[in-house]
Amino acid sequence: MVMILYFIVFGFLIAAVVGLLLSWLDRKVTARVQYRVGPPLLQPFIDIVKLLGKELLIPKGASKITFLLSPILGIVSIMIVSTLLCLVNIWPQKTFFGDLIVVLYFLVLPSLSIILGGFASCNPLASIGASREMKLVLAYELPFILAILVPVLKSGLTIKVGEILNYQLLNGAIIGSWSGALSFVIILLCTQAKLGLVPFDVAEAETELAGGALIEYSGPALAIFKLMKAMMLFVLPYFMTIMFLGGFNFSGLAFIKSLLGFVGIIVLIVVIRNTNPRLRIDQALRFFWGPMTVLATIAIILASLGL
């Protein structure tokens, strides 16, 4: 019962509420950059409630089971990651061997759910969007995992998130080193791609694919996908905060410092989104397999040298 309560509170309530508030902030800042007013504070919540009340349509010829289960797979996986990260941040002793691998595994599943849903839709535009999403995942996962090896190396070859947090508590944030700063930049750009934001929104590409992989989704299923993306906007920066900034310290001024670090990551994500054009899928592949992979390899070498 305790674990179910943790799953509901840390996995859903906190991630959903904070994620929707962050999506409002993203939309508001984007609107102001474009000289628009932007949505009111509660608009993301209203959008989800409105979609939950609409009819769920299943396209003719679609694989019904896969089409309906895909959004559930995505949101459950991000809820599991949120629960693990919150528990380890609050109680580092709750860490277990290989929990970092579990987090990395479940962070792939939201993208996989979009791919499955797109192919199951039996829509040519959705299939193109799903194909692009699949290629993008193959592109950014390599430098993402290589960059995550830097905190692992610097904290003594541990794959326990709690031990990485304890290392930073004793030795300072990993971002303070050369290898940590370099890997942080790589993770930030990979996170931009995981979130499907400009310049890596090729799978959605509204001007080309009219919504991409999710074009056939409506009603509650679309609401779940949108909620999943909002929750990712909380979980991924939170993961970066834990791995590179020492996590959230809930005591006094340290909490303000932690909060500023988290907000700083959100600001960087919004700034990148509003200052770059969309890349083509081939450009995104070359970017992640080229410069990002090389820089991630350099970061690993620097971490091995203690820098």
The answer to whether 28 and 38 have CB atoms below 8 angstroms apart is: yes
Q: How far is Cα 289 from Cα 143, in angstroms, rounded to an integer?
A: 7
> What residues of the chain score a pLDDT lower than 70?
206-209
Residues 6+ apart with CB under 8 A from 71: 113, 117, 217, 221, 222, 224, 225, 228
Q: By 3-state DSSP, what share of the chain in percent is helix, strand and coil, each rounded to 5?
A: 75, 0, 25
Q: Is the pTM value of this prediction over 0.85? A: yes
Number of H helices, E strands in the chain: 13, 0
Q: How far is Cα 63 from Cα 275, in angstroms, rounded to an integer?
A: 39
Q: How far is Cα 235 from Cα 239, in angstroms, rounded to an integer?
A: 6
pLDDT, one tens digit per residue, over 194-248 is: 999 989 988 877 666 677 888 999 999 999 999 999 999 999 999 999 999 999 9
Residues 6+ apart with CB under 8 A from 89: 165, 242, 247, 248
Structure tokens given for 126: 């959705």
